[in-house]
Amino acid sequence: MAKNAMRTISVRTIVAHKVRLLLTILSVVLGTAFIAGSAMFTNSLSNSFEGIVATQFDKVDVAVMGQVPITEVQRLRQDADVDSVEVSAQGANVIVAGPDKKVISSGGAPSMALAMAPGQQELSTQGKVVSGHLPTADGEVAINSEAAKKGGLQVGDELTIVTPTERITRTLSGTFQAATSTGGWIGVAFPEDDYLKLFTDGSNVSTAQVSLIDHGEEHVNEVRDRLRQQYPGMNIESGKVLAEEFSKTIKQLLSFINYFLWAFAGIALLVGTFIISNTFSMIVAQRNREFALLRAIGTSSKQITRSVVFESVVVGVIGSAIGIVAGMGLVKLLTGAMKLGGIGLPDEGLALNTTSVVAPLLIGTAVTVWSAWAPAKRAGAIRPVQAMRQSQSSGWEGLAGRTIAGTVMLFAGAMACVLAGSMDGGVKPRAIGVGVGAVLLVLGLWLAGPALSIPVVGFLGRVAGAPFRAVGRLAATNSDRNPRRTAATAFALTLGLMMVSSIGMLGATMRASLSEMLDSSMRSDYVLTGRQEMGISIPAGVAQRVEELPDVTETASLGLAPITVNGSTMVESFGPKMSTVYEGNISQLVDIDFTSGGLPSTTDDAGSTADSGQADAAEGEQDAQPGAADSPIPAADAADGGAPAVVMSSGLANRLGVKVGEEVTLANGNRTAKAPVTGIYQDNPVLGWGMLNRAAATMVANPGEITTATILVNGGRNKQALREELENAVAEDLVVSVKNKEEAKGEQTASINQMLGILYGLLGLAVVVAILGIINTLALSVVERRQEIGMLRAVGMQRRQIRTMIYIESAVIAVFGALTGAAVGLGVGYAFVSTLAQSGLNQIVIPWSQVAGMLVASAFIGVLAAVFPAGRAARTRPLEAITE
């Protein structure tokens, strides 16, 4: 038969079965929608941020970075080549509240202070004035117009502003247009003199942004080179290079979002692959007679195979094209949801490019064709006489080979997980072993699933069908009639719930372990924290005010400073490199389990340590390091004292290769100093990787650079009275919250819940695709069983009973998928959590309530998925179906 004739038959077959086509296309749309959406979303953000960066650095020709003396800034302004110079300080973050004392939220974006240079008409890094005027005198500030609109501010309003060191009031003199005002960004412009008093030590700034009279690139490079010779200890670069580096950093940060969205697409396509393959297998089975007739009139086996592949190409192209359109809607939905949640993003419209259009089209089509290849080969292998039979194979035959192979893989996967979870060695090789085992288990389930479904589905069908008598018994028989189809239909749900149960077990274990560690390590009655999500810590002075309260007996504070220790940080973050700084008697408020050494002593010996301990520390002499003992020093001597000291977790100490008594290098920009390591402790969720005392931090950081993130408080017996005292003491600070031990634990575990929420959302997509697969399979099954259903209607079965039968079949298949997924997922989760035992996750928790909820939800999902197929089956007309 000619190729054109076969192609015509394929097209007519697709058009004639519109419902079947739609259900198959839906399996392709979701995955390609996320591929297209991820490309559009990240491309749009990238273009928007690049435009912002270009605008921000448009008038910055040269930047002088480091500790820039203010006297040198004045010299720069007198340079004949210089037009203007603006200054900025590191950590110049602010919280702003209007006359109603309500804080204007930045939605996680920066909320920062800007310096208005004397005699300047506009901020070079921002836009022009919108209303009023820029600040010219002390007591005035201007704010970006977007933030003013969000906070309902008017020129002349009195603003309350919280800086890293104090709370102040200023009058709003005007608003300005800000190119950087995206994602809720807040910019508050101060007169330069006021800015220097509030955010610097009065002598230095971190950056001087220079705008030249001549902006030509050659001239800019000449001035840059001249300034490098004048200021050899500073980092000096052109604005163009800084803009390029900043754009590169933004792209790296945006790549995380891209990977996340591609993970959505990967899961959708992975689950969709099994559904598409199952769908085409059923389609081929239903068309046995059609293919037999084509073979009988001379169509070759290859032509039959090519015709099915051609149909898959059509389905793939249509589904992928719809997926691209759905991706556009997904981007709009995602940005809208983030704005509703207070996380504003730049919206430059849909950024269509080659990746966002061609990639999903090619990937979606390729996945569809690959999924349909095996059914297409089976279609080509159909023999004319054999396929003329009216009855369909039950599918029980030919399971021996794949069952044996699947059983071997299941055993190998289980052994890999057990061995990886129990072997010695680092976390990485053990986790890889569990990953290999998980892959083998998935493949084993796919191969052995049909044989496994025969006893399990039969039992579940009898249990679920018992209350419905004859209809239930018939549904139970139908459920295990075709084990291949049953297993293939349930596998999509199995895969999704396997991942959900594994992650659920990890999350439950992490929450329990963190809660236990916080219980055992935190001794404080209350914890005071600032608004870290807006870059603002607890204002200076709060700690002293709290310490003076009558019911307070002990306090200690933990803060941050831009310091590295031997080039490493003690705080994990995407922003500037920071380390933890403690002050006060921390050992009385946090249980610190030192493996060697301890906190520095406050005795006279400690003072000698600060003065002369550096030479002795290199030799490890005990008398020079009174805190460097094999056990912690007495609690009474555990204040920070005057001796510079560093204590760190065993994990960080091993990574840096340092021991108690050795010195480490503290660095902040171009300032460096040496400090001794006086103690190494077991990993602690409160203290993190390590900390410096304030004496060590002030060796390389200005007092204004050391912020207070947390204040730990102990008090008398009346805890409620203590809380009221604390809340009253910090009420006007706007940014300080008071939490008891349980609330502090809840805040810590909330971050785990957020992470799990994202992962559950990701895996929820797999469940959605699985539901579509069940709907698809049941709908095709109803078509295949049309004569059978017509016969049942003819002998007296009512429509309601037909629907009930289909509901039971679907629920049984869904519960079977959930049971196998949960069982394997818990096993993999147990093995994976076991690999993390050395990282503190030593209390393995099985989330039984979550597992039970998943099983109940799966039965509901099965009934929900059967609504359309059951309705279609119930509408079957007996005589028409029987005579077909």
Cβ neighbours of residue 301 closer than 8 Å, sequence gap 6 or more: 295, 380, 381
d(CA 582, CA 692): 6
Residue 675: predicted pLDDT:
92
- Which amino acid, 235? N
Looking at 232, 250, 268, which one is the last position of a domain?
250
Q: Say if residues 660 and 690 touch (Cβ distance below 8 Å).
A: no
Let me know if residue 170 belongs to a domain. Answer: yes
87 lies in the same domain as 234: yes
276 lies in the same domain as 211: no
545 lies in the same domain as 666: yes
Let me know if residue 469 belongs to a domain. Answer: no
Residue closest to 34 by CA, chosen among 324, 282, 318: 324
Looking at 712, 735, 758, which one is the last position of a domain?
735
d(CA 268, CA 707): 45
Name the domain count of the chain.
3
Q: Say if residues 208 and 73 touch (Cβ distance below 8 Å).
A: yes
d(CA 567, CA 459): 62
164 lies in the same domain as 97: yes
Let me know if residue 817 belongs to a domain. Answer: no
Q: Any idea what DSSP says for residue 532? A: G
Per-residue b or e along 775-811, where b marks 16 or more CB atoms closer than 10 Å to that residue's CB? bbbbbbbbbbbbeebbebbeeebeeebbbbbbbbbbb
Q: Say if residues 259 and 356 touch (Cβ distance below 8 Å).
A: no
Per-residue b or e along 266-282, where b marks 16 or more CB atoms closer than 10 Å to that residue's CB? ebbbbbbbbbbbbbbbb
DSSP character string of 590-637? B---EEEE-SPP-SHHHHHHHHHHHHHHHHT-TTT-TT-SSSPPPGGG
Q: Any idea what DSSP says for residue 717? A: S
313 lies in the same domain as 211: no
Let me know if residue 763 belongs to a domain. Answer: no
341 lies in the same domain as 219: no
121 lies in the same domain as 242: yes
Instruction: Return the residue matching tokens 């840059």.
Output: 224
655 lies in the same domain as 716: yes
d(CA 638, CA 599): 6
Residue 605: predicted pLDDT:
37
302: exposed, middle or buried (C-beta count within 10 Å: 0-12, 13-18, 19+)?
exposed
Q: Say if residues 564 and 675 touch (Cβ distance below 8 Å).
A: no
Q: Say if residues 37 and 327 touch (Cβ distance below 8 Å).
A: yes
275 lies in the same domain as 368: yes
Residue 382: predicted pLDDT:
80
Domain that holds residue 83: 60-250
Token couple for 459: 């039992």
d(CA 767, CA 741): 37
Let me know if residue 510 belongs to a domain. Answer: no
d(CA 188, CA 177): 12
Residue 72: predicted pLDDT:
87
Let me know if residue 481 belongs to a domain. Answer: no
Let me know if residue 415 belongs to a domain. Answer: no
Looking at 220, 250, 280, which one is the last position of a domain?
250
32 lies in the same domain as 77: no
Residue 48: predicted pLDDT:
65
Let me know if residue 166 belongs to a domain. Answer: yes
Residue 173: predicted pLDDT:
92
Sign of the torsion formed by the C-alpha atoms of 453, 459, 464 and 466 = positive
555 lies in the same domain as 598: yes
* pLDDT < 50 regions, the chain: 391-395, 602-641
286 lies in the same domain as 205: no
Cβ neighbours of residue 229 closer than 8 Å, sequence gap 6 or more: none
